[in-house]
Amino acid sequence: MRFGYYPGCSQTGTAKEYDISLRKVIGKLGVSFDELDDWSCCGATSAHVTNHKLANALAMRNIALAGTQGIDNVVAPCAACYNRLVLSQYETMHHPEIKAETEELLSAKFTQDIKVMNVLELFMKIGLGKIIDNRKHELSDLNVACYYGCLLVRPAEITKFDDAEQPVSMEKIVEATGAKTVDWNYRVECCGAAHSIARRDIVIDLSKKIIDDAVDNGANVMVVACPMCHTNLDMRQRAMKRVYPGHKEFPVLYLSELIGLSLGMNEKELGIDLHYIDFKYDGNILKNTVA
């Protein structure tokens, strides 16, 4: 199985462990990526909150590249990139005036939809059976809080994937690793995302609420699928401790890292040592292949 791959800026910097672990995990599952040649930033939050034409054109430049490179499905592991690419493509394909304008601006023709997938869709497509067949560790002592964040499953009528309020796909994937999932309240709440630098106070408050609710509901680790969420929930815990002195460090992993652990890779291979909050897994090694 081959998929197009749009890494997004975070994957080359602050979220490089997400990129490293995702590539290794899909390799183990017999899948490979064709990285989009010369991809550029999707514009992220900053473009769409200030200039809708710019936001649309920046995202569509990448869709146009996929078209010319013969890639008809693209995996965007960052939830924000995923959301921008899906929304811009929807706008372009549904409003003839935007389509004409964007085509002229980029000197491109948009004739068919490029399927943009988030990382949950990717693992669902690869198949949970593949994870189960290949796993070396059953992560049964982990109680995982699956955190979707805001942009991974929204807006549901456009992303056409899972439910916007009560999604289940990440739980299914996590359970395929043998880990348990907890039922909690903040699965689709926002962490403050783009305000991470300009309004750190807001981000710390929101992230603290998310972590506290996961802990209160019995989780011992959180799993995310977005570099922004990870920055706010992992890196910001240091500042969180200053604002909330009683705060206890709580590990936050990328989904790909958790799957990697169950496939038998260690923390260093997966880049978990790059996190701010340490996480060591010393679980049971499976005696037999698990059914």
List residues near other proteins by CB under 8 A. 9-10, 12-14, 16, 38-41, 43-54, 57-58, 61, 83, 95, 105-106, 150-151, 154-156, 164-165, 188-190, 192-195, 197-200, 202, 206, 235, 238-239, 274, 276
Compute the distance between CA of residue 213 and CA of residue 185 in angstroms, rounded to an integer.
7
**Residue 148, Cβ density class (10 Å: 0-12 exposed, 13-18 middle, ≥19 buried):** buried
Residue 182 or residue 203: which is nearer to other proteins going by CB?
Answer: 203
Token output for 163: 């439910």
Residue 137 or residue 208: which is nearer to other proteins going by CB?
Answer: 208
Least distance from C-beta 223 to other proteins, angstroms? 19
Please report, as a single letter, which amino acid is at residue 12: T
Least distance from C-beta 83 to other proteins, angstroms? 8
Among 103, 107, 81, which Cα is nearest to 92's?
A: 103
Least distance from C-beta 190 to other proteins, angstroms? 4
How many Cβ atoms are within 10 Å of 264's Cβ, its own excluded?
14
Residue 105 or residue 286: which is nearer to other proteins going by CB?
Answer: 105
Residue 240 or residue 263: which is nearer to other proteins going by CB?
Answer: 240
Q: 279 with 17: CB under 8 angstroms?
A: no
Least distance from C-beta 246 to other proteins, angstroms? 20
Residue 2 or residue 52: which is nearer to other proteins going by CB?
Answer: 52
Least distance from C-beta 183 to other proteins, angstroms? 20
The residues near 51 (Cβ < 8 Å, ≥ 6 apart) are none
Token output for 197: 């630098």
